[in-house]
Amino acid sequence: MLRSLPFIAVVLLAFPGHGQSKSNNSTSIDPGGCVLDHIAVEPGIRQYQYDGLSFDGKRLAIGWERDEEDRGTYILDLENQERMNLSGMNNGAVFAPDGKTLVNSVYEESGKTDIVEYELKTGKITTVALHPDWDWLASYSSDGNTILFNSYRTGSSDIYTYNKQTQQLKRWTDFDGYDAHAQFSPDDSKILFNRHEGGSDYNLYVIDTSDGQVSQLTEDKTEEGYGSWSPDGKTIAFASDRDKKPGTGDIYLMDADGSNIRQLTDMDTKDGYPFFSPDGRYLYFNSLREAQGVYRITLDDELNCVKAKR
């Protein structure tokens, strides 16, 4: 289920210090034919990201976990593979547009998560819109002034925004079930999110930020979730287990109106949390395949994956 936050990382070795550990990149071939770059994939280690690329596409914020008491976050330099630990952070994180801060949820001693901002220059951590109930999966608007997240503060999980300048909190959905994994479109005119319809049925929706109108994008009676926008706002990447047993989702693309759905990965384990690089050349995602972690697909101009030569 989407609600279970499935991409928790289990790490055999902590990630010490600044630039003291490096990733070992390699490639593999998905059964569907796409060439996969292994971005944070190592034997015996599971790692994850939530749209964690910096806006220049050079750094990726990655969360990891050894067990429920030992979690962490680091930034991976995609050019030299060096890692920089973020002290006090223990989950995936999202860069602000100016690259000066990151936002996401951190696990507290009570076990719940709160939304925080992390200042890269100083390491200062500031809690955002503190509440006794769970808040998580935060991201920024295009100007960095608004933080988007989902919260159980009203009893069910709904979509909220917090304006950093006015300190105003706004609730965007009022649903008895589970709304989560929200993202602004590149121009902030829409908010993409997924909704639990019951059982194993999840669908993708968008909110028009000008009037609050909610529209449904997918209707398949399976799991469609973890949606994200292409840089031009014309395409949505998402995960779905359509045509498969529940919990074994693959990565798909569709047009922003919900049409023209096409499949990229084809694995018997779960792929999720896909997102585009700022230049649209790559699609990053998490996977629970045998070598678990963060992967990347290279895309051509038509958004087809680059496939292995036969």
The answer to whether the CB of 163 falls within 8 A of the CB of 155 is no
Distance separating alpha carbons of residues 177 and 172, to the nearest angstrom: 14
> Under a CB-based contact definition with an 8 Å cutoff, are residues 189 and 229 in contact?
no
Per DSSP, 197 falls in state: E
Q: Going residue by residue through the chain (310 aa), what tens digit of pLDDT does each one get?
A: 443 333 333 333 344 333 434 445 699 999 999 999 999 987 767 799 999 999 999 999 999 987 767 889 999 999 999 999 999 999 999 999 999 999 999 999 888 999 999 999 999 999 999 999 999 999 999 999 999 999 999 999 999 999 999 999 999 999 999 999 999 999 999 999 999 999 999 999 999 999 999 999 999 999 999 999 999 999 999 999 998 888 789 999 999 999 999 999 999 899 999 999 999 999 999 999 988 899 999 999 999 999 987 6
Per-residue pLDDT, 4:
35
Output the pLDDT for position 1. Answer: 41
pLDDT at residue number 309: 79
For 233, the token pair is 């706002």
Please count the CA atoms within 13 angstroms of the CA of 195 that sit on its side-chain side: 23
Cα 43 from Cα 41, distance rounded (Å): 7
